[in-house]
Amino acid sequence: MSTFAASHLSPSYPDRAAWGTAPKLRAWQQEAFDLYSSREPRDFLAVATPGAGKTTFALRIVSDLLARGIIRSVTIVTPTEHLKQQWADAAARVGIAIDPEFKNSQGTTSRDYVGVAITYAQVSMHPALHRARTEARKTLVIFDEVHHAGDAKSWGDGVRDAFEPAARRLALTGTPFRSDVNPIPFVTYAEDGDGVRRSVSDYSYGYGPALADGVVRPVIFLAYAGEMRWRTRAGDEIAATLGTPLTKDQLGQAWKAALDPKGDWIRQVLTAADRRLTEVRRGVPDAGALVIATDHETARAYAKHIRAITGEGATVVLSDDPEASKKIKQFADAPDRWMVAVRMVSEGVDIPRLAVGVYATSISTPLFFAQAVGRFVRARKRGEFASVFLPSVPTLMGLAGEMETERDHVLDRKLPEEGLDDLLLEDAQRQKDNPDVLGDELPFETLEAVATFDRVLFDGGEFGSAAETGSPEEEDFLGLPGLLEPDQVRTLLSKRQSDQLKAKRNKPEPKEPQIAPHELIANLRKELNGLVGAWNHRTGQPHGVIHAELRRACGGPAIAQASAEQIQERIGKIRQWATQRSH
């Protein structure tokens, strides 16, 4: 077999070849391929940021090994059904016939195929079958997003049993590894100076170098805060401001209220994202947008919002939809504006025209976040950059600010206490038919959810300041041109922030409206009662006990007789508890 068709990878610009194919290699693939060829390893782990072109790199190796007779068959293992088809399509473009419809019940595939594409789940269901296939012919096994081999013990055991006899194994990943203590099959681990075993990649190409090379797009994150108010099952009304310091329970419920389709927050953010998409389309006419939702119910509700905002329908992709792969492919090739998805596009799916994203899910694992953002960074031509809208939540702000940070898979370490890590990825990736957001264990009714523009994060910096949605200050950032170089993005963001600060300095301070004493005390009582309700949910202490403890700590009479100053002191005390106590 000739290796010419797959001998090179797509240039970063001005044109982008079909997924997995291209007229010439990028520098990193050539370097990685040369390294592979010089070592002739049985196992090789390549870590490359989403959008860099791992598929064509792998297919180049397939062509070379087939041509030299080192292998006679290929097995590609993927995390999802859709990716099986995508790999087969890419391989077909370079003359490699892969069967994406292979079923365990078949046992063998047609002689027309040089290999099969299967899922990790398929392997775990019948590892003996795949071991027999691997032993029958000299086989190269490609593990796409190899960290999924650790999603469940049965998956890891199945992969190890099935492919131990393989002639060659090529592991690929575009996102940081899992952080639990389950070793991933066929990955090498080395002990560091602290006695902790860390994964060792044979070749690594991160987001930072890829951005510098123009291989991927830069991303700006537009964070939205807002006022949230909800009623708990106990009938308490609680208010909180997303984007300010909150207790864990308050944050979870405020986040849930923000994502609630019945509130205004998500509608206002979708409206802002659509305005951004319109601006991007001035320079990138086929640009598309994607909402990543938590569950099926909210995905459908978000699609209704989009139709009301734009007058056009959105493509809705659900994890249990047999037509999901077809819908994704149609959207990738169409000029449509919006897609809403639950999990089908969190990893590996190639829709290069996606330029605007809305992160409307409570999933906060570093792995899922990296996968999701990876859907928007695939470069096609110089000057394109992506815009991702997200709630102003500390976990997400931290992940957005660490886009260029690499994390090895670490063994022999304590599991994270908070649970906001890759341990939750398998749950995050499961089919979701019902709402499952943070705070879901505390049923409540959203009463109010209003969005405010918070800030922009880009290249490790923060720009802008709080502003109402629809305001000129927000429009300054939504109206950024759709085609800019990274240094131009930073320059323009800095200038707009400077202009806003100058305008604020020159604007006379509004006089505080006078408020009657009874109104002030009523407002303070309401705020304190809301905090007591939140503390009740966090600790299980009855409301009366909490009020009594506050009186003992601060002094003064019962709340009905307390002065404004005394109530304010108790508010300060319960906020102090939230940051200092652990329950």
Would you state the structure tokens that stand for residue 508, as one six-digit string? 């006379």
Lowest pLDDT segment from 228-232, 392-396, 413-417: 413-417
pLDDT digits (tens, 9 = 90+) for 317-352: 987 777 887 888 899 899 999 999 986 555 556 788
Most confident segment among 3-17, 160-174, 405-419:
160-174
Q: Residue written as tokens 């329950």?
A: 583
Provide the CB-side half-sphere exposure for 65 (13 A, CA): 29
pLDDT of residue 324: 81
284 within some domain: no
The residue from 175, 209, 243 where one domain ends is 209
**Is residue 191 very low, low, confident or very high in pLDDT (cuts 50, 70, 90)?**
confident
What DSSP assignment string belongs to 25-90? --HHHHHHHHHHHHH--SEEEEEE-TTS-HHHHHHHHHHHHHHTTS-SEEEEEESSHHHHHHHHHH
What DSSP assignment string belongs to 95-151? T--EETT--TTT-S--TT-SEEEEEHHHHHH-HHHHHHHHHHS-EEEEETTGGGGGS
pLDDT digits (tens, 9 = 90+) for 65-123: 999 999 999 999 998 888 899 899 999 999 999 999 999 999 899 999 999 999 999 99
pLDDT of residue 254: 92
pLDDT digits (tens, 9 = 90+) for 237-249: 889 999 888 888 8
532 within some domain: yes
112 within some domain: yes
Residues 461, 496 contacting (CB under 8 angstroms): no
Q: Where are the beta strands (DSSP E) in 262-337?
A: 288-293, 315-317
**Is residue 426 very low, low, confident or very high in pLDDT (cuts 50, 70, 90)?**
very low
Give percent of the chain above pLDDT 90: 41
- The rounded distance, in Å, linking the Cα atoms of 390 and 396 is 8
Identify the domain containing residue 126 by its residue range: 27-209
pLDDT of residue 415: 40
pLDDT of residue 15: 37
**Is residue 377 very low, low, confident or very high in pLDDT (cuts 50, 70, 90)?**
confident
pLDDT of residue 208: 80
DSSP symbol at 541: -
Average pLDDT, the chain: 82
The residue from 162, 185, 209 where one domain ends is 209
132 within some domain: yes
Most confident segment among 51-55, 61-65, 190-194, 417-421:
61-65
pLDDT of residue 537: 74
**Is residue 489 very low, low, confident or very high in pLDDT (cuts 50, 70, 90)?**
confident
**Is residue 268 very low, low, confident or very high in pLDDT (cuts 50, 70, 90)?**
very high
Residues 56, 24 contacting (CB under 8 angstroms): no
**Is residue 441 very low, low, confident or very high in pLDDT (cuts 50, 70, 90)?**
very low
pLDDT of residue 509: 62
**SS3 at position 492:** helix
399 within some domain: no
- The rounded distance, in Å, linking the Cα atoms of 573 and 121 is 51
CA distances from 443 to 61, 63, 113, 528, 531 (A): 52, 55, 52, 21, 17
User: Would you say residue 407 has pLDDT above 60?
Assistant: no
pLDDT of residue 580: 67
Q: Residue written as tokens 């046992």?
A: 107
Measure CA 336 to chain center. Answer: 22
411 within some domain: no
pLDDT of residue 10: 40
Stronger pLDDT, 15 or 150, i.e. the higher one: 150
Stronger pLDDT, 550 or 581, i.e. the higher one: 550
pLDDT of residue 575: 82
The residue from 184, 209, 234 where one domain ends is 209
**Is residue 272 very low, low, confident or very high in pLDDT (cuts 50, 70, 90)?**
very high
Mean pLDDT within 279-305: 94
Number of H helices, E strands in the chain: 19, 19
Amino acid identity for residue 234 in this structure: A
Would you state the structure tokens that stand for residue 371, as one six-digit string? 């996968």
Lowest pLDDT segment from 174-178, 413-417, 483-487: 413-417
Most confident segment among 210-214, 239-243, 408-412, 499-503:
239-243
Kindly give, in sequence order, each residue whose CB lies less than 8 Å from that of residue 486, ignoring residues fewer than 6 positions away: 211, 218, 385, 459
Triad 143, 149, 152: Cα angle to 5°: 160
Give percent of the chain above pLDDT 70: 83
Which CATH number is 34's domain given?
A: 3.40.50.10810
Mean pLDDT within 413-435: 37
Residue in 55, 60, 147, 146 with CA at minimum distance from that of residue 95: 60
Domains contained in the chain, number? 2
pLDDT digits (tens, 9 = 90+) for 109-140: 999 999 999 999 999 999 999 999 999 999 99
Mean pLDDT within 153-179: 85
pLDDT of residue 3: 41
- The rounded distance, in Å, linking the Cα atoms of 204 and 465 is 37
Stronger pLDDT, 143 or 575, i.e. the higher one: 143
Neighbours of 69 (CB within 10 A): 9
Lowest pLDDT segment from 169-178, 283-292, 550-559, 560-569: 169-178
Lowest pLDDT segment from 99-103, 489-493, 507-511: 507-511
534 within some domain: yes
User: Would you say residue 144 has pLDDT above 70?
Assistant: yes
User: Would you say residue 449 has pLDDT above 90?
Assistant: yes
**Is residue 263 very low, low, confident or very high in pLDDT (cuts 50, 70, 90)?**
very high
Would you state the structure tokens that stand for residue 449, as one six-digit string? 């959810």
Would you state the structure tokens that stand for residue 458, as one six-digit string? 């880009």
**Is residue 61 very low, low, confident or very high in pLDDT (cuts 50, 70, 90)?**
very high
Stronger pLDDT, 105 or 500, i.e. the higher one: 105
Residue in 497, 484, 477, 509 with CA at minimum distance from that of residue 224: 477
321 within some domain: no
Lowest pLDDT segment from 55-59, 308-312, 497-501: 497-501
- The rounded distance, in Å, linking the Cα atoms of 85 and 326 is 10
